[in-house]
Chains A and B, each alone.
Chain A
Amino acid sequence: MSSEVAITIFVFVLFAGLLIFEVPIAWCLAISGALGVIMLRSFGIGSGLLGSVPFQATASYTFVVVPLYILLGTLVMKAHVAERVYYVANRVFHRLPGGIGVATVAACAGFAAVSGSSVATAATIGKSSVQEMRRSGYKDTFAVGIVGIAATLGILIPPSLVLIMYGIISGESIARLFAAGVVPGVLSAVVYSVGVIVMARRNIELPAAGAAGPGIDVPKVTRAQAGRSLGYIVLIFTTIMVGIFTGIMTTTESAAIAVMMAVVILFIENRKKKGRDRWFDFSSALAETAGVKSMAFAILIGAAIFTFFLVAARVPYHAAEFLTSLDVAPIVIVVLILVVTIPLGMFLDALSILVIVVPLTYPTLVGLGFDGVWYGILLVKMIEISLLTPPVGLNAFVIASATGIKVERVFRGLLPFVAVELIIVAILVAFPDITLFLPSLVLD
């Protein structure tokens, strides 16, 4: 065994060891990467990375898009847009079989168009929609399954924080990634809705008294509030998309304008509150997101140091050599990589999967002639599955917390929808044009 291979194994074991003992992933990546470089090159180079990378990995005009989209999602959430859009969707779809379930999917898709977070979507829409579905006779497991799967649209339909991070790590254009997320996002919403309609007969019973469950208080929504909220979504999403597609402004600038719109929207919605109360949601949105923004940057710093080690140890080269030596069609390699992300997703969160998988696999797949944007969308779909599978499926925990339903039942309810999700991934793998059609049309 060469020293390069032995050091690489040591670094990965150290990384995994620190990770399972609760050291934050950002510092796991930084220290294992730096120690690897020290062993490969010298103490000076490895140690120097810990001083130089924090500046190099953050001092970039492009990266301001990360805090802006994190803040946008929280501001819109504070303006109660999600709950009110759910009201509108419910009015439109309630006559269909499984109509309230379809409305939940539509509302999540709508909220995803202004928020880049699945967890935020699950938390905000989960409470109201699950109560409404239970009241209408939906089984608990079916109701939470619908919310859980629909909430994953948050990281696929632009703006998406996971797509932004993928763009930063891989170097792919964020504008192209956003454009590529639109059609698969709409397709996913349609397939989820069809899945809900198909499963509705077996999972909806006559509503029983008290079926809504105890202790859940859903706020009243007026038509004016609902109409305004729908308008806000259209306005913000159109601004972001028109900005990107027409070239009038960059992705970063469109994020900034969307944030300023969200600030105005929040104050419009809070206009009847008095004095300090009017500012409370705004200041709490700023306070809640300050740490999250830094956490995202800390992971980027750790990932940059770890990637330096990977390149120094020629790990992507060896990975490419191994994968291309397999006597299989290139598309099988893509499928293999996607399959590997499923067990990873059982233990790691979305960002952790990205910072580990992308530097290792992206160069190989692009080298094999696959489109990096297409691969990014497929990876996001696999990350969506990780949000739904035990033991660390975040969406399941958030929905359990919001609705009071046991997390085991939430996971059980999500299981059929994971199968639906895998069907969508298969469609996207088989037909790359579904993903690449829109970015090619508007950006090439």
Chain B
Amino acid sequence: MNHSSASTAVARGLKEFPSHLARFLAVIASAVTILAALLLTAEVLSRAIFDQSIRGLFEIMQPLVVLIAFLGLAEAERAGDHIRVTILTDRLPRRAKLGVHTLALVLSGLIVLWMLVMSWIELDKSIARGEFASGLLDIPVWPARVVIVIGLGALFLMYVQRSIESAVAFARFGGDGRTIADDEDVTDASSGGLL
């Protein structure tokens, strides 16, 4: 492999890293959803058969919910699941639409970055004071906070990737006054349809 093809492969790898990371984290989130369902089913069966609850299930379930919630965030952005209102932008000329789209991605990235920084500070505090969720089992809170930082970090990377892609498309595109609906099959005015 020569130098230029190797650097192209590295560049492509870097470009695709946020998407690969999003899918990987989503797989973990999905597996944890099934694990949560199995644990809860086991709890019901345990109560019915042995007249005994699984010790600490209530406390175990809390970090699992955090995991399900945050490890799928980047995948939600990748798959277009986040609910956004496109009623105005769908009617804009293509170049203006790309411009607004880029701005929305940059703004979203900045908001998530702010949340990421503040979550990191909370994580730091949590580790420093040895924070526990008390109950039948004393479970440390910091692993759940690590998951939040990972989830928000992956989402931030996804926004960086998409902002760059959108900005490049905006820069390359000439203003011809046509609307995006002229060229695309726009069938949905807002996303998040599964709900």
Contacts and interface: CB of A to CB of B under 8 A. Distances in A.
A71 interface: yes
Interface stretch (B1-9, B10-18, B35-43, B170-178): B35-43
Given A31-B111, A260-B38, A117 B194 contact: yes
Contact of B84 (A23, A256, A286): A23
Interface string B157-186: 000000000000000000000000000000
A264 to B, nearest CB: 11
A24 B83 contact: yes
A19 B85 contact: yes
A298 B82 contact: yes
Given A256-B36, A257-B40, A290-B30, A64 B85 contact: no
Contacts of A51: 115, 117-122
A440 interface: no
A71 to B, nearest CB: 6
Contact of B70 (A117, A259, A294): A294
A266 interface: no
Interface stretch (A142-150, A191-199, A396-404): A396-404
A383 B121 CA distance: 39
Interface in B118-155: 118-122, 133, 141, 144-145, 148, 151-152
Interface in A184-235: none
A70 B194 contact: yes
B37 A22 contact: no
Interface in B16-57: 23, 26-27, 29-31, 33-34, 36-41, 43-44, 48
Contact of A68 (B36, B81, B103, B188): B36
A27 interface: yes
Q: How would you classify the secondary structure of chain B's contact residues: helix, strand, loop or mixed?
A: helix
A293 B118 contact: no
A290 B77 CA distance: 11
Contact of A59 (B48, B66, B112, B118): B66
A291 B81 contact: yes
A352 interface: yes
Interface string B75-116: 111110111111111000000000011011001100110110
Contact of A392 (B33, B66, B100, B189): B189
Q: Which of B23, B40, B66, B77 has the most CB of A within 10 A?
A: B40
B176 to A, nearest CB: 21
Contacts of B117: 51
B70 A60 contact: no
A64 B40 contact: yes
Contacts, number: 245
Interface in A251-272: 252-253, 255-257, 259-260, 263
A55 B144 contact: yes
Contact of B101 (A22, A162, A252): A22
Nearest to B119: A51
Interface residues of A, number: 75
A55 B83 contact: no
B72 A22 contact: no
B69 A297 contact: yes
B26 A287 contact: yes
A332 interface: no
Contacts of B85: 19-20, 22, 25, 347-348, 352, 392
Contact of A349 (B63, B83, B103, B118): B83
A23 B84 CA distance: 6
Nearest to A77: B194
Q: Indicate the size class of the contact surface on chain B.
A: 35 or more
B101 to A, nearest CB: 6
B194 A63 contact: no
A55 B122 contact: yes
B98 to A, nearest CB: 11
Contacts of B120: 51
A288 B101 CA distance: 24
Contacts of B121: 51
A257 B83 CA distance: 29
A259 B34 CA distance: 8
Interface string A135-178: 00000000000000000000000000110000000000000000
A114 to B, nearest CB: 15
A388 to B, nearest CB: 13
A50 B104 contact: no
B41 A260 contact: yes
A61 interface: yes
A432 interface: no
Nearest to B80: A291
A67 interface: yes
A50 B68 CA distance: 19
A64 B68 contact: yes
Nearest to A16: B85
A293 B187 contact: no
Nearest to A26: B82
Contacts of A27: 107-108, 111-112
A85 interface: no
Contact of A289 (B62, B87, B193, B194): B194
Contacts of A420: none
Interface of A: 18-27, 30-31, 34, 47-48, 50-52, 54-55, 58-61, 63-64, 67-68, 70-71, 73-74, 117, 119-120, 161-162, 248-249, 252-253, 255-257, 259-260, 263, 286-299, 347-352, 391-392, 394, 397-398, 400-401, 407
23 contacts: A20-B87, A21-B103, A22-B84, A31-B111, A50-B115, A50-B119, A55-B119, A67-B36, A68-B36, A68-B37, A117-B194, A248-B48, A256-B39, A260-B37, A286-B30, A286-B31, A288-B79, A291-B78, A294-B73, A352-B83, A392-B87, A394-B189, A397-B187
